Structure 1
Amino acid sequence: MELNKISNDMMVKMGLMSKVLKSAAGDGMQFDVLYQSLLKAVSQNEDSQKLSDNIMSSIPGQNLQAMDMLIGQADYKNQYASENLSASASNNIKGQELSNIKEVNPVTEDAKMKQIYASVNKYSKQYGVDPNFVLGIIKAESNFNPKDTSPVGAMGLMQLMPETASYLGVKNPYDIDDNIKGGVKYISQKIKQYNGSKEMALMAYNAGSGTMQRRGVSSTNDLYKMPSETRNYVPKVMGYYRDFATKSI
């Protein structure tokens, strides 16, 4: 449903919701983000009337985190309902079993990329992770920049936090081989922890297993409960994963 097709009744409700949100979040960025997400969710959701009624009935006394989760649930269903995010599908892209996937090869003669791909192949084999999946993580995390540092201090190709790097035995997070070894080891642990689900492993890799537990995430269908960064991160990595897997066939 397009924005200009929202009913008059819906527009009235949206106006009321905006006032309630503004009183809770203030007239700043947080309000803008929440309201734009709400508007998008209502305009795109086929059952927008039911969605708006649910939001209106749940707004009084509701904190902003819960409000963000409610909007995120609708947004997630709109964006990703058509994607198969099950572990069996992600582990069997294009009908290939992990043991049959060939080593990945760089499409460039660049020495840095050759080194990255060599390390990805080496440690993917050692820890039993699809190398295309690792490439998807690296693409999303650092866009293949070994010297990348995030605003919160995550380092290198697979954006390892200092405490995580220390736990994994990574001595130099900006070293290509050392970073990839630690990152692949870590994601392999998360895949095992979540019984082979790459999507669940990605949620933990991005936001932490503690965040998942606190928010009651028990399956891939609960992605909407995660912070917006993680809701965007998981399908982004899975998209890159599919792209790399297709190229390697």
Structure 2
Amino acid sequence: MEAKADIYRYEDSNGVVHFTDAPTDKRFKIFMRDIKREKQLRTSFRISGDPARYESLISSCAVKYGVDKSLIKAVIHAESAYNPNAVSRKGAQGLMQLMPKTAQDLKVADAFDPAENIRGGVRYLRFLLDTCKGDVSLALAAYNAGLSRVARYGGIPPYQETRSYVSKVLEYQKNYQSN
């Protein structure tokens, strides 16, 4: 069994700050990630979680928000490899790697809750698809680099990370469509 060194914290109503490596209460939020585990997540895009566990949630969000189910799966695969506890080096959280400000704007209270994260991420994807007039590549570029950068460059920004991300997600989407 793999050891985890993530640290969680919450501040109670008396102002006392509590820390733990084994949260037993929903009030605990991630405070510090295990850097070694985070590096493993960034370098491996093999699925580390169980996609079947999220199938019904993905399906219902796909229908509710009108987003292709295979695209949702591809984004989750590329973003977190289906690890609901994933945190990027820039602070994005959960299955769909929502940045804290984006999660807050989407009314996602707990980005590590798979249901909240997927609902929020799919709503955001729907917004980006609408804003980009259905252009999946542009929506994915905006998901990765930000809508303002897509607007600034009038298309996919000239960042290798973003271009690779868009290609990878589109490839994953094709694979999910054919299975």
Report the TM-score, using the length of structure 1 for normalisation: 0.51
Check the 8 A contact 2:138/2:150 in 1, yes or no: no
Check the 8 A contact 2:84/2:114 in 1, yes or no: yes
Q: Does 1:127 align with 2:59?
A: no
Matched with 2:137 is: 199
* Aligned partner (choices 159, 162, 169) of residue 237 of structure 1: 169
Matched with 1:39 is: none
SS at match of 2:97: coil
Matched with 1:166 is: 104
- Correspondences of 1:1-249 after superposition (within 5 Å): 112-217=50-155, 223=156, 225-247=157-179
Corresponding letter in the other structure for 1:116: Y
Q: Which has the larger radius of gyration?
A: 1
How far did residue 114 of structure 1 move?
3.1
Unaligned runs of 5+ in 2: 1-48
Higher RCO, 1 or 2 (CA under 8 Å, sep at least 6)?
Answer: 1
Counterpart CA distance in 2 for 1:214 and 1:150 is 24
Counterpart CA distance in 2 for 1:133 and 1:126 is 14
Counterpart CA distance in 1 for 2:67 and 2:152 is 27
Counterpart CA distance in 1 for 2:113 and 2:170 is 25
How many residues are paired up?
A: 131
Counterpart CA distance in 1 for 2:168 and 2:68 is 17
Unaligned runs of 5+ in 1: 1-110, 218-222
Counterpart CA distance in 2 for 1:126 and 1:226 is 33
How far did residue 215 of structure 1 move?
2.1
Counterpart CA distance in 2 for 1:204 and 1:134 is 15
Corresponding letter in the other structure for 1:237: V
Counterpart CA distance in 1 for 2:59 and 2:173 is 15
RMSD: 1.4
User: CA offsets, 1:18-73, max 9 Å, x none?
Assistant: xxxxxxxxxxxxxxxxxxxxxxxxxxxxxxxxxxxxxxxxxxxxxxxxxxxxxxxx
How far did residue 112 of structure 1 move?
4.8
Corresponding letter in the other structure for 1:146: P
Matched with 2:9 is: none
Q: Which has the higher helix share?
A: 1
Same amino acid, percent of matched pairs: 37
Check the 8 A contact 1:212/1:226 in 2, yes or no: no
